[in-house]
Chains A and B, each alone.
Chain A
Amino acid sequence: MSTPLLKVDHLTMRFGGLTAVGDLSFEAQAGQITALIGPNGAGKTTVFNCITGFYKPTEGMITLTQPDGKKLLLERLPGHDINWKGRVARTFQNIRLFGGMTLLENLLVAQHNVLMNASGLSILGIFGAPSYKRAEKEAIELAEYWLEKTGLIARADDAAADLPYGDQRRLEIARAMCTKPLLLCLDEPAAGLNPRESLLLNDLLISICRDHNTSILLIEHDMSVVMQISDHVVVLDYGRKIADGPPEAVKNDPKVIAAYLGVEDDEVEKTEAEIAAIAAQAKGDAR
């Protein structure tokens, strides 16, 4: 197996006496959709906040491997470099768009560094230097490409706050993609979407992963989404990893079922024994 894109090692995050995430290690491979699931309060969003620099982890190491093989320790980068140098982008469970700005402007803010370098701190921009004009044109083209892809192009000049909920979610993904990320972290992208919107979202995410050289790390409660699109699933409960593997395996893991349905520990053992017995019987029958 090649080097993973994202490697989380022994990540621990404590808030006072509460351990939100305890000794978590997992990997996300390049070109795959990795899902992070778990019951409410399992620490999924905390993991995201550590990866994207909102929190400094109490312990542990988060390594991101760049395409040129260089390894970056995300927990050591200052906030804005996680996106610019580390090329990690994210969306939020409670949408955080720049509501007062237009859709196009939202996507241009995401290309700030490219434009800022081209415009020489805006000074060349004021005088309309050709190099800046070219950069601006490219930035607008990229923004329009993503607006087209998310079906929002017709509303490009409206204020972002005026969009309906489902469109705001897609705009957040479009904005994140305008930073040309290696890793896109999505925090419950399907929350509050109707079934049709949810299907469209699946297509969008699969296309992002296949066509744009962007790997996805996904938090999701909607199991149908997780099972359909993810290549790899990591399950958290009370801040600890309880399962890790392809979706089919995780789905049938008794520990995962117990975490979701709230079964007592001894019952887990009993269920495990039962499953083992059934499996043995099935083997026997097969012979």
Chain B
Amino acid sequence: MEVFVQQLINGLTLGSIYGLIAIGYTMVFGIIGMVNFAHGDVFMVGAFIALIFFLFLTTWFGWALIPALILVLILGMFFTGLWNWAIERVAYRPLRGSFRLAPLISAIGMSIFLSNLIQVVQGPRNKPVPPMFTQSVPLFTENGYTVAIGYKQIAIMVITVVLLAVFWYVVQKTPLGRAQRACEQDQKMAALLGVDVDKTISLTFVMGAALAAVAGVMYIMYYGVVNFSDGFVPGVKAFTAAVLGGIGSLPGAVLGGLLIGLIETMWSAYFSIDYKDVAAFSILAIVLVFLPTGILGRPEVEKV
């Protein structure tokens, strides 16, 4: 029981990070039908941007931890959004209207470019930040084991829930969100009603990157290190989460993220930590056999 609850907390924390990255995948897929394989690396770039600002603020300017982190979140979202906007502009938009695989290949190229760029400009070593929020709240003790929830974990879950609420509001209630949903269904018709489709797609990339940047900040806060190759595995996991939840569905992405996080931590606790990725991907494969559109995905309707 005590191990289970502890792993549940750990799994939900990890799942929150995956879920935030997965939203970027699912939104871009929803609106232009393309899997943005560079998104994992955008997350890594976001983590590096956060790292740089964080070290600037805390060591040079001597800011306190909490205001520094809040400013880092805002700056990280802004600059990562800018990065993804530029990526969409140079690597994907010129290929729109080309055959379906062209932007996909471009995305893979962009993924390699980003990780290599960071390797060159930031160096190949792990970049650490000093440990922060090391305290934790003990919940209960059983069999001599105290189940605790860390301040970091609380922060990650709270930030995730708040962001998802804001994000949900934007997509459901604002003109931008309506335009995104309209473009998702019929881009040409949306253009005929005066919606600037290119701009809407750009803003979708910016929004996805902003959430990935938040995930990046949480990642360095939680693990304390980041490395140029750290975009790949979380990126693939988040993509898996998006597919598991039903690609194109926003609640699905979050649900998928939480599930992948839980599967991973539970497997590590009860079976073998070496095979945690195998477990996550096997469960994906099994779910897709029975639910080909994912858990919350709608069946693909052929457009006439």
Contacts and interface: CB of A to CB of B under 8 A. Distances in A.
Contacts of A140: none
A112 B193 contact: yes
A126 interface: yes
A179 B170 CA distance: 22
Contacts, number: 88
Nearest to B175: A115
B251 to A, nearest CB: 14
A80 interface: yes
Interface residues of B, number: 26
B193 A105 contact: no
B178 A108 contact: yes
A72 B15 CA distance: 53
A100 B181 contact: yes
Contacts of B102: none
A98 B182 contact: yes
B187 to A, nearest CB: 9
A109 B176 CA distance: 9
Interface stretch (B141-149, B194-202, B209-217): B194-202
B304 interface: yes
A54 B177 CA distance: 24
A227 interface: no
Contact of A98 (B173, B177, B189, B196): B189
Interface string A112-143: 11011001011001100000000000000000
A108 B191 CA distance: 14
A112 B178 contact: yes
Contacts of B173: 125
Given A96-B189, A101-B178, A116-B175, A121 B194 contact: no
A160 to B, nearest CB: 10
B284 interface: no
Nearest to B186: A96
A115 B197 CA distance: 16
Contacts of B194: 80-81, 83-84, 110, 112-113, 179
B22 interface: no
- Choose among A109, A125, A176 the residue with the greatest number of B CB atoms under 10 Å from its CB: A109
Contact of B181 (A89, A90, A101): A101
A218 B182 CA distance: 25
B185 interface: yes
A203 to B, nearest CB: 25
Contact of B193 (A53, A122, A179): A179
Nearest to A139: B175
Given A101-B178, A125-B175, 14 more contacts: A53-B191, A82-B192, A84-B194, A96-B186, A98-B189, A108-B175, A110-B193, A112-B175, A112-B182, A116-B175, A116-B176, A122-B176, A126-B169, A175-B193
5 contacts: A112-B193, A113-B194, A116-B175, A119-B175, A125-B175
Interface of A: 52-54, 79-84, 89-90, 92, 94, 96, 98-101, 105, 108-110, 112-113, 115-116, 119, 121-122, 125-126, 175-176, 179
Interface of B: 166, 169-170, 173-179, 181-182, 185-186, 188-197, 203, 304
